[in-house]
Structures are given as structure tokens and as C-alpha cells.
Amino acid sequence: MRPLSPQFRPYTWALSTVEIARRAGIAPEDVLRFDGNTPPDPPPVARPETIAAALERIQSYRHGGFPELLRAIADYNGVEPENVVLGPGADNLLMLCARAYAGPGNRIAIADEPSYPLYRVAAWVTGADVGDVDPVLTFVCMVEIPKARPLVVDEAYFEYGGETAVPLIGDGVIVVRTFSKAFGLASARVGYAIADLETAAELNERQDPAPLSTLSAALALAGLEAGPPDVSATIAERERLAAALRGLGLEPLPSFTNFVLVPDERAQELYEALLDRGFAVRPSPGALRITVHRPEANDRLLEALAALS
């Protein structure tokens, strides 16, 4: 096999629910997960009738792709279907962008680190290194748009913040979105990129021939047809959770997502202690990332944190 960058470190998943349950001495259904940045409940469109027609033709390929889904995504974003690139989750599209621009001997930059670990993995598997000197591509979360071009803007949490770089696609910007967060379809694995016509065409040529299943496409289309997801309750609960964390002496950062990031020098210690009690949060160097859950679940986590403080 072709050697990877000497910098390479694989993406690491969280412990499984079964492993956490065994560690905490509880049933798997009693584990509370605050580490996935996904909604605690499925959306209304996630029902058998949504995928019934696709199941009736599950034995065949979807010749011609998904023009209805492309049109719905385009309408949702005020662009044309030809500006859209489909993929099985935003991660796939980040990897696609990396391999479209980079290879051995190149560098990919990551703005505003620490950030999503997959950006580094996407760079490394192409054979490129991560660095700021003469990068051929830059990744950034949708916070503040750097001047670097070409630029991939990760807008996984667009619906929670409302700001977008889509108006910049004519200026060397590629926007990547997902149905995993606000739309609540994480296991369906549907994402999309928006780019200028030439770039989108190039990315589509480099994409897998059939990147989505018919079942996933049906769920995504139903999500869009239901109208923009209402995330107001999640935002309100996020602010309540952040205020309660501040009441415990913690200092969560401002958030425009469905999670809060809590800097703390004891982050790894707290993470381990919470696992022992059946709570899963996501640790990073010097911080904990906590997904907004149902209010009653958030209250239980707050009680556990209070007991550990």
C-alpha cells in the first residue's frame, strides 16, 4: 500500500453504548449519550411509509440518480441543482474535497484549530500533510471565513446559527452540509456540497457512482419537504444548559450549534468519571463537548457534574 503521511493518526470513535454500560454496571438503555451532536429523538419523517416506495424497488439501481433530491436541496439553498454534490454524509464530502485537491507532497490547512478531527484525517489519507505553508486547500468550520482559497466551509450546524458562506461559492468556496444534525438523519448518512458549476461538476466526476441509497435519499427528501427544521427548542435548551453549567463554576464557550464546549483542565478526569456513572461526553485536550439532550437528561448530567465538582 502507498504510505500515508508521517503525521497520520486514525479517527477515533467513542466507546459503544454496550461498553459504557458494562463499565458503569448498568443496562445499555440506561446510558445517556451527550457525545454525538445529534438530536435525542428521530424526526417525524422517520417512519415506514417514508421509505415504502423505495423498499418496493430495493432490488434495482436508481438509474439517473436523485433529481428530485437535488432540486429540493438547491431550492433550500437558493442555488441550482448543478451546484450540488451528494454524498453519504458530510465526512465523505470532506474526504472527496481533500482528494480532489491534494496528494503526496501537498499541504492542507485547517483554520481555527482545535477543530473537527476528520479534517486532518481527510488530508492525511491523500498522502498530504497538515500545515499552513502554501496549502492547496483549507478547511474551516463556519465561524469566521479566512481569505484562503480554495476553501471548504463546514456548515454541519448551519440551521443552529443561520449564517452561511453559500453566497461565496463563486469565489473559490465549497460549502459542506449534512442531514445528520438539525434534520436528525445521522444513520441515513446523507450530506451535500455546494460549489460553483465548474467545481461541482469536477467533484461529481470524482464522487462514487451511486453515493446514496434509495432509502437514505427518500428520508432526506421527506425532511426537506417537511420544511426547514425547527431548532428553537434545542437552542433554548442549549442556553439553559450553558447557564446551569456556569452555575457550577464552569465556563462554556458561546455556541451556534447543538452542543456546548466547556474548557476545563480536568476534562479527561471528568470524562472518565462520567463514564463510570453511565454518561458519555466527548473529551478533547482541555475541554469537554456536551451535546444538548432532552431537559431531563441534561438535568441528570448537571447533577453528576455537581457531584464531581
- The pLDDT assigned to 187 comes to 97
Domain assignment present for 260: yes
Local confidence band at 145 (pLDDT 50, 70, 90 cut-offs): confident
pLDDT digit string, tens, across residues 89-134: 999 999 999 999 999 999 999 998 778 999 999 999 999 999 999 9
Domain assignment present for 1: no
Could you tell me the pTM of the whole model?
A: 0.94
Local confidence band at 144 (pLDDT 50, 70, 90 cut-offs): confident
Coil, helix or strand at residue 92: helix
Same-domain pairing of 74 and 132: yes
Local confidence band at 281 (pLDDT 50, 70, 90 cut-offs): very high
Domain assignment present for 7: no
Domain assignment present for 6: no
Same-domain pairing of 201 and 270: no
- The pLDDT assigned to 76 comes to 98
Same-domain pairing of 238 and 217: no
Same-domain pairing of 201 and 257: no
Same-domain pairing of 63 and 122: yes
Domain span including residue 218: 48-225
In this predicted structure, the answer to whether residue 6 has a pLDDT above a threshold of 90 is no
Contact 68, 219 (CB under 8 A): no
Same-domain pairing of 107 and 254: no
Helix (H) / strand (E) containing 206? helix 197-206
Domain assignment present for 199: yes
Largest CA distance in the chain: 58
Domain assignment present for 8: no
Same-domain pairing of 62 and 108: yes
Same-domain pairing of 243 and 205: no
> Which of 203, 225, 247 is the last residue in one of the domains?
225
Domain CATH number, residue 135: 3.40.640.10
Domain assignment present for 4: no
Domain CATH number, residue 271: 3.90.1150.10
**Average pLDDT for 277-289:** 95
- Total number of domains constituting the chain: 2
Distance CA 258, CA 261 (A): 10
> Which of 204, 225, 246 is the last residue in one of the domains?
225
**Average pLDDT for 179-186:** 98
| % the chain with pLDDT above 90 | 91
Same-domain pairing of 187 and 206: yes
- The pLDDT assigned to 208 comes to 92
Same-domain pairing of 141 and 269: no
For residue 125, what are the CA distances in angstroms to 58, 75, 108, 190, 249? 33, 34, 12, 22, 41
**Average pLDDT for 149-155:** 97
pLDDT digit string, tens, across residues 216-253: 999 999 999 999 999 999 999 999 999 999 999 999 99
Q: What is the DSSP letter of 212?
A: S
Tell me phi and psi for residue 187, to 5 degrees.
-75, -15
- The pLDDT assigned to 112 comes to 83
pLDDT digit string, tens, across residues 57-84: 999 999 999 999 999 999 999 999 999 9
- The pLDDT assigned to 282 comes to 96
> Which of 225, 255, 275 is the last residue in one of the domains?
225
Same-domain pairing of 182 and 56: yes
Same-domain pairing of 235 and 134: no
**Average pLDDT for 260-278:** 97
